[in-house]
Amino acid sequence: MTDAAAVSARGIHKAFGDRQVLSGVDIELAPGTITAVLGPSGCGKTTLLRILAGFEDPDAGTVSIAGQTVAGEGPTVPVHRRRVGLMPQEGALFPHLSVGENVAFGLGRDGRTGWGRDGRTGLGRDGRTGLGRDGRKESAAQVAHWLEVVGLAGLADARPHEISGGQQQRVALARALAARPRVLLLDEPFAALDAGLRVRVREDIATILRDTATTALLVTHDQAEALSLADSVALLMGGVVTRHGTPADLYDRPGSLANARFLGSTVEIAATVHAGLARTSLGPLRTRDGVADGPAVVVLRPEQLRFGTGASGTAARVTARRFYGADTVVHVELADGTRLQLRSPVPTALEDGAAVTVEVAGDVLAYPSPPGGQRVPLGETGG
């Protein structure tokens, strides 16, 4: 673990029976940053989160938090002594407690630190106050503080069923932050929210995490969520981290055809590469990174395709249009039968059958054709 790392997992392996879930995963979290572990269902991202939290032990490898080895070498540090916060799916609030009492659950028994002398958080014996008699005044102040941080001042007496889903997620965040964890783990916390609310809540929570300098790990299968919320993204595919970097770096230089397809919408066309130039049905295109000469797949992002002006570009014919509100997707077919999709930020007056030209903006990604034949789909894939 580097001196700057708040959390470090090295060489993590985990299997359940004959099924290998994680195979040598390495990941580090810098202090005060948000890291997203992005991958499809079944890739092992939730298993990795559970290992970091202490709910599962790795078969091999080590986990360190704030310089302390908590798994893999010597005795395993139990969950309640790791000072790790967890924000699960759907918030998991206690329905019989008020909003304020839910937040107080995250406080330690002194009402300040978030962790009692035994390393635990939680409510008092009455199941409501979370503290002994001497700490209740401090607890009330801390509850008010964290509710103000998450924008819910004045809702301490409300019950979970009386507030919206987005507000429930904020209460769950306040409860987790009240414990002052060394790292906060977020397990697909926005999955249960509808699309419009999901965007607003995740933006609000990202702002809160950055304002409080919280080190956080988010696991998600949502590409837009990971790319827009995180400072760095680890792409987990088949139990292996295939790429780890900034969101822009992963999107612009995904490192493989499989990564490119998963990270966002792609338009793929057949090509032959020679000396860094890809010859395609759209003309010669300069490749972004070095790729071996020979048959290849050129990967375009939809925003790289645009309608030509005047006589520039490759001739095409409009075959269909789809209006999606924020943009319009226009289907076109080139003279050789290659079909493409272009996204226009404004409604288009083009009619089906209209003659257009298509241009490519910037350098392109190219990868060697996959073994067993080149798969070049019609239109967009991924995303």
Interval 167-210: pLDDT, tens: 998 899 999 999 899 999 999 988 878 888 888 888 999 999 99
Position 127 confidence tier, pLDDT thresholds 50, 70, 90? very low
Q: What is the mean pLDDT of residues 308-326?
A: 86
Domain ranges of the chain: 7-252, 265-368
pLDDT at 108: 64
pLDDT at 326: 78
Q: What is the mean pLDDT of residues 258-286?
A: 93
CA 177 – CA 50 distance, rounded (Å): 19
pLDDT at 382: 45
pLDDT at 95: 92
Residue 368 in contact with residue 291, Cβ under 8 Å?
yes
pLDDT at 132: 52
Residues, the chain: 383
Position 4 confidence tier, pLDDT thresholds 50, 70, 90? low
Closest CA to 131 of 158, 104, 155, 102: 104
Q: Within 13 Å and on the Cβ side, how many CA atoms surround 268? A: 23
Give tens-digit pLDDT for 199-214. 888 899 999 999 999 9
Q: What is the mean pLDDT of residues 89-106?
A: 88
CA 190 – CA 50 distance, rounded (Å): 18
Examine domains 7-252 and 265-368 and report if their fold is the same.
Answer: no
Position 138 confidence tier, pLDDT thresholds 50, 70, 90? confident
Residue range 265-368, CATH number: 2.40.50.140
Give tens-digit pLDDT for 16-72. 999 999 999 999 999 999 999 999 999 999 999 999 999 999 999 999 999 999 998
CA 300 – CA 376 distance, rounded (Å): 12
Beta bridge partners of 326: none
pLDDT at 115: 47
* CATH label, 7-252, candidates 3.40.718.10, 3.40.630.30, 3.20.130.10, 3.40.50.300: 3.40.50.300
Is the pLDDT confidence value at 267 over 50? yes
CA 273 – CA 286 distance, rounded (Å): 9
Phi, psi of 33 (to 5 degrees): -115, 165
Q: What is the mean pLDDT of residues 108-121?
A: 51
Three-state secondary-structure class, residue 64: strand
pLDDT at 271: 94
Position 311 confidence tier, pLDDT thresholds 50, 70, 90? confident
pLDDT at 117: 45
Q: What is the mean pLDDT of residues 143-157?
A: 92
pLDDT at 347: 66
Share of the chain above pLDDT 70, in %: 87
Position 5 confidence tier, pLDDT thresholds 50, 70, 90? confident
Q: Which residue has the tokens 């005047």?
A: 310
**Against a cut of 0.75, is the pTM above it?**
yes
Most confident of 51-60, 80-89, 146-155: 51-60
Q: What is the DSSP letter of 260?
A: H
Closest CA to 338 of 322, 360, 323: 360
Name the helix (H) or strand (E) containing 147. Answer: helix 136-149
CA 237 – CA 123 distance, rounded (Å): 40
Name the helix (H) or strand (E) containing 220. Answer: strand 216-220
pLDDT at 288: 87
Residue 57 in contact with residue 76, Cβ under 8 Å?
yes
